[in-house]
């Protein structure tokens, strides 16, 4: 396994809707393993493939390092589709490995149902709530080219304008490997 550089705010691939996975070949398995290693190294709990430059509908979630979620198993989502959102919504502060040091309150549905394929290309349906539902929605948005900063109020967007510009221009310190240019794409 190896660490992959994380794409940053401003990188074109973060705004692109990703392509479906048709086969779980050795290259895809390696990508998934590298994504878990990269996410762990960056102390993340979710990571989408386009955050490491791969144009694929894949994201991973691992909440086992979070208090009260220690017994949860890591999950790989291929070609996901959120099929149900609850009417109840919650507001929770979110951050993102592609937008380091920027955190903001984001309103999202409390519960969701998601259909996806596992690494054996078997269809799965998962009902999720609370933190798991939030992380899934955040990572699913990545695959659609949507960032959490797109979901915040305009006054907060203005507040973060300088921070986002500094991230785009790589003018801050990063605690994990990041891409060095905005056209980066792995696969």
Q: How many other C-beta atoms lie within 10 A of the C-beta of residue 6? A: 25
Question: pLDDT value at position 8?
Answer: 96
pLDDT, one tens digit per residue, over 68-112 is 999 999 999 999 999 999 999 999 999 999 999 999 999 999 999
Residue 104's DSSP bridge partners are: 94
CATH number of the domain residue 29 falls in = 3.90.45.10
Residue 6 lies in a domain: no
- CA–CA dist 121, 128 (Å, integer): 20
The residue annotated as part of the active site, out of 94, 110, 139, 175, is 139
The pTM of the full predicted model, rounded to 2 decimals, is 0.94
**CA 169, CA 166: separation in Å to the nearest integer?**
5
Is 139 tagged catalytic? yes
In a domain, 130, yes or no: yes
Q: Would residue 159 count as lying in a domain?
A: yes
* Domain residue limits at 91: 12-168
* Residue 164 located in a structural domain: yes
Q: How many domains would you assign to the chain?
A: 1
pLDDT at 185 over 80: no
Sheet holding 46-48, edge to edge: 46-48, 58-61, 75-85, 111-117, 123-129
CA distance 123 to 132: 19
In a domain, 98, yes or no: yes
Summary mean pLDDT of the chain: 95
Residue 176 belongs to some domain of the structure:
no
- Let me know if residue 85 belongs to a domain: yes
List, in order, residues 6 or more apart from 118 with CB less than 8 Å away: 76, 78, 124
Query: Which backbone phi and psi does 82 adopt, to 5 degrees?
Result: -80, 120
Q: Write out pLDDT tens, residues 151-163.
A: 999 999 999 999 9
Task: Please determine, for residue 148, whether its predicted confidence score (pLDDT) is greater than 50.
Answer: yes
Greatest Cα-to-Cα distance within the chain, rounded to the nearest angstrom: 45
> Which three-class secondary structure string do you get for 45-98?
CEEEHHHHCCCECEEEECCCCCCCCCCCCCEEEEEEEEEEECCCEEEEEEEECC
Q: How much is the average pLDDT of 60-65?
A: 97
Question: Would you say residue 130 has pLDDT above 90?
Answer: yes
Residue 186 has pLDDT above 60, yes or no: no
Dihedral angle sign, alpha carbons of residues 75, 18, 105, 41? positive
59 pLDDT higher than 80: yes
Residue 22 lies in a domain: yes
* 3 state SS of 99: strand
């Amino acid at each position: 396994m190896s660490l992959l550089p994380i794409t940053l705010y401003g990188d074109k691939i973060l705004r692109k809707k990703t392509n479906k996975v048709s086969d779980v070949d050795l290259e895809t398995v390696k990508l998934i393993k590298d994504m878990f290693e990269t996410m762990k190294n960056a102390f993340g709990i979710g990571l989408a493939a386009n955050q490491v430059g791969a144009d694929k509908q894949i994201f991973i979630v691992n909440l086992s390092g979070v208090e009260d979620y220690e017994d949860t198993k890591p999950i790989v989502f291929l070609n996901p589709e959120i099929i149900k959102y609850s009417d109840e919504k919650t507001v929770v502060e979110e951050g993102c490995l592609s937008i380091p040091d920027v955190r903001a309150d984001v309103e999202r549905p409390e519960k969701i149902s998601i259909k996806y394929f596992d690494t054996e290309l078997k269809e799965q349906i998962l009902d999720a709530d609370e933190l798991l539902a939030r992380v899934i929605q955040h990572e699913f948005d990545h695959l659609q080219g949507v960032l959490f900063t797109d979901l915040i109020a305009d006054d907060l967007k203005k507040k973060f304008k300088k921070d986002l510009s500094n991230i785009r221009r790589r003018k801050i310190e990063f605690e994990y490997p990041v891409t060095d240019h905005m056209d980066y794409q792995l696969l």
